[in-house]
Each structure stands twice: as structure tokens, then as C-alpha cells.
């Protein structure tokens, strides 16, 4: 594909994101038409004031959070797939989601015994705990995967699998120790939801979403070189160790912030970048921003379905993404086996 065609695809994905956001703002228990949304800018009636409150206080922060979470998970998946040179790698494979889940479980079960943590962070105590768990898991995996200052990609992946299993075991023990109320909170957090979106929450996690994006141009060039092989990338001038560490750090910040704000949402980081790879065989200069746009759209549509298909009850969004992602993963794995799987 030419640069012009790539730009046209990016524009189409941007339009899809815009339409998905508009649908999410409009559709819900209280439907708001486009005309009513425009009147919100200059309310003249009590109904306009109600719509304004619904849009600005409830739906707008949820829409923005959905875009950031979906985009971050998809970009993180695209980076890891390029780094490992493996299309079935997901951010969960390096222990991020399970580490966040373990830390969130620890807070839910033992928060009453450590009130200073809740007093220090207030309503953000659970997201802070989850983010800390994700980053801790990432650091442990990176340390295990680094031998004498050199990071081995295969060892990194195996370390992620081991840390994931260990964290899941810890979460299982905490589930056994939890009371009924704690177990309910723990279960709903692990199933994922954007229901906790507020402007305050967005403000507290915004930097963790935006700062890593600044490194995407450098990462896109490095990932294109990495596709040739690590040794070849080094011969072409890429500082491979610095690059691997930066790629891991960016992924940890993006995915850690996403999981801390929304709970565990699976398969977005696997499905979105691979759909784009299959459709366009793109370079990472196109793949990373395209993954962000498509991931945001997918998350908006999944959240819209979660809010409406069983209204007034809200279906956990992680259930819907798993229903979509698990069959895709099985199909992808079968396809890789047929072509001759290489890690």
C-alpha cells in the first residue's frame, strides 16, 4: 500500500472512532438525539439541563476512558507482537493483567486492615493498587528476562507466563479468603467495566496514557527493523537493548494504566493489531496509530453493547471482549499451526 492509501485508511478509522463516540454519547437508558446534544451547548430548558448533566458528567468521561483504554491495549499488543515477532502475543502474556489483578485483590480483601492506603488515595486507592501491581509484575518479568545486561525475548515471554500463573494462584487464594461482599467486588473488577469513569479518574491517569505515545515514532521505526531479526536490526544501527527496554516500559505504562482504570479486559491487545496486520500488512508507522484508533472504536462499541443489551443491568465488558477474542485466538492459533508455528 502507498502512503496515500495508508492515510486514507487512518482517516476511515478516525471516522469510525468519531461515529462510535457519537453513538455512545447518544444511546443509553436516556436516549439523546444529535439535535439535543447540540442544544446542550446552550441549554434553554430543564430537559436540556438534564441532558447536559448526563452527557458531561456520565457519558463523556466514559467515552474518553473507553477510547484511552481500548487504544492503549491495542497499541500495547501491537508493540509486543512486533517485539516478540509473534502474532499471538497479548499484553496479558507478560503478567501485566494478572499482576494488576493480584494487587487489586490484595486491596479489596485487606483494605480494612490498612486504612492509611485508602485514606491516602481516597477513591483512587483501587486503581493505584492495580497500577502498582501491573508495573511490579512488568519489572519482575524484565529482571528475569535480563541476563548480564542482555534481554532475551524467549526468556522474557516464559517469565511472563510464570509470573502470570503465580499471580493467578495468589488471586485464587485471596478469592478463597474473601467475604461474600469482597468476592463480589473482586469478581466484577476482574470482569472489567468502564462504569467508574469520572473526570477526576481521567485526570489522574491521563499522563500515563499520553506520555508513552510520544515514543511511538521511535518505536515504529525500531519494530520495523526488529522484524528483520534482532541481530540484523543491530547491524542497521538500532540500539537493541535500549529499544527492548523502552518498548517494555511503554507497554507497561499503557496497559498498566488501562487495567487500573477499567479492570481486566482481555483480547483487545491480541485481536485489533492482528486484524490490521491481516488486512493491510502494514509497517508499524501505520500499525501503531491504526491500532489505537481501531482499539478505541472496538472498546466504545463493546461498552455500548454492555450498557444496552441487558438494560438496566450492565454486562461486564470483559465478557463481551472475551466472547469476541477467544474464538479469534483459536482460529489464529489453528492458522499458525497450519502454516508452521514459529515463536
The stretch 193-218 carries a mean pLDDT of 87
**3-state DSSP percent of the chain in helix, strand and coil, to 5:** 80, 0, 20
What's phi and psi for 314, nearest 5 deg? -105, 125
- Decide if 67 contacts 296 (C-beta within 8 A): yes
pLDDT at 274: 85
- C-alpha cell recorded at residue 215: 515514543
What's phi and psi for 49, nearest 5 deg? -65, -40
Higher-confidence position of 199 and 117: 199
**Residue 342 pLDDT more than 70?**
no
**Residue 311 pLDDT more than 80?**
no
Q: Report the DSSP beta bridge partners of residue 151.
A: 146
Residue 155 has a CB neighbour count (10 Å cut-off) of 15
The pLDDT tens digits for 87-118 are 778 888 888 889 999 999 998 898 877 777 77
Higher-confidence position of 192 and 116: 192
Residue 37 has a CB neighbour count (10 Å cut-off) of 16
pLDDT at 343: 42
The stretch 288-308 carries a mean pLDDT of 93
Mean confidence (pLDDT) of the chain = 86
Residues of the chain with pLDDT > 90: what percent? 28
Of 45, 16, 2, nearest in space to 294 by CA: 16
Cell 542497521: give the residue.
236
**Residue 310 pLDDT more than 80?**
no
The pLDDT tens digits for 110-152 are 887 777 777 777 777 888 889 999 999 989 998 888 877 677 8
Who contacts 58 (Cβ-Cβ below 8 Å, separation ≥6)? none
Of 253, 225, 250, nearest in space to 240 by CA: 225
Report the distance separating Cα 33 and Cα 12, nearest Å. 24
- Decide if 72 contacts 213 (C-beta within 8 A): no
pLDDT at 1: 61
- Decide if 291 contacts 273 (C-beta within 8 A): yes
By CB atoms closer than 10 A (0-12, 13-18, 19+), residue 103 is: buried
pLDDT at 102: 92
pLDDT band at 339 (very low <50, low <70, confident <90, very high): low
Determine the number of helices (DSSP H) and then strands (DSSP E) in the chain. Answer: 16, 2
Task: Give the highest mean pLDDT range of 1-10, 139-148, 205-214, 296-305.
Answer: 296-305
pLDDT at 289: 93
Q: How far is CA 95 from the centre of its chain?
A: 13
Report the distance separating Cα 239 and Cα 293, nearest Å. 29
The pLDDT tens digits for 41-68 are 676 677 777 888 888 888 999 999 999 9
Which domains does the chain possess?
A: 75-335 (1.10.3470.10)
Amino acid at each position: 500500500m502507498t502512503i496515500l492509501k495508508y492515510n486514507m485508511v487512518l482517516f476511515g478509522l478516525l471516522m469510525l472512532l468519531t461515529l462510535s463516540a457519537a453513538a455512545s454519547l447518544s444511546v443509553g437508558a436516556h436516549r439523546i438525539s444529535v439535535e439535543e446534544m447540540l442544544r446542550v451547548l446552550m441549554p434553554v430548558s430543564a430537559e436540556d439541563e438534564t441532558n447536559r448533566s448526563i452527557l458531561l458528567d456520565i457519558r463523556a468521561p466514559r467515552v474518553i476512558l473507553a477510547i484511552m483504554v481500548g487504544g492503549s491495549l491495542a497499541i500495547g499488543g501491537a508493540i509486543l507482537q512486533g517485539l516478540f515477532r509473534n502474532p499471538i502475543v497479548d499484553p496479558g502474556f507478560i503478567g501485566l493483567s494478572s499482576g494488576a489483578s493480584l494487587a487489586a485483590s490484595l486491596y479489596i480483601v485487606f483494605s480494612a486492615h490498612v486504612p492509611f492506603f485508602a485514606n491516602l488515595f481516597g477513591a483512587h486507592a483501587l486503581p493505584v493498587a492495580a497500577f502498582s501491581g501491573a508495573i511490579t509484575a512488568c519489572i519482575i518479568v524484565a529482571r528475569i528476562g535480563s541476563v548480564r545486561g542482555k534481554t532475551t525475548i524467549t526468556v522474557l515471554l516464559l517469565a511472563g507466563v510464570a509470573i502470570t500463573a503465580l499471580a493467578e494462584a495468589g488471586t485464587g487464594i485471596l478469592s478463597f479468603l474473601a467475604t461474600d461482599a469482597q468476592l463480589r467486588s473482586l469478581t466484577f473488577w476482574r470482569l472489567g467495566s468502564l462504569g467508574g469513569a469520572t473526570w477526576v479518574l481521567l485526570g489522574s491517569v491521563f499522563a500515563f496514557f499520553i506520555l508513552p505515545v510520544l515514543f511511538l515514532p521511535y518505536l515504529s521505526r525500531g519494530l520495523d527493523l526488529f522484524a528483520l531479526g534482532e541481530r540484523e536490526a543491530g547491524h542497521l544501527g538500532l540500539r537493541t537493548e535500549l529499544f527492548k527496554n523502552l518498548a517494555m516500559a511503554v507497554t507497561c505504562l499503557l496497559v498498566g494504566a488501562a487495567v487500573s482504570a477499567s479492570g481486566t479486559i482481555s483480547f483487545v491487545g491480541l485481536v485489533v493489531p492482528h486484524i490490521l496486520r491481516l488486512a493491510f500488512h502494514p509497517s508499524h508507522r501505520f500499525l501503531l496509530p491504526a491500532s489505537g484508533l481501531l482499539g478505541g472504536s472496538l472498546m466504545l462499541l463493546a461498552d455500548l453493547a454492555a450498557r444496552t443489551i441487558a438494560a438496566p443491568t450492565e454486562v461486564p465488558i470483559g465478557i463481551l471482549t472475551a466472547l469476541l477474542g477467544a474464538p479469534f485466538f483459536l482460529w489464529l492459533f489453528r492458522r499458525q499451526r497450519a502454516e508452521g508455528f514459529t515463536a
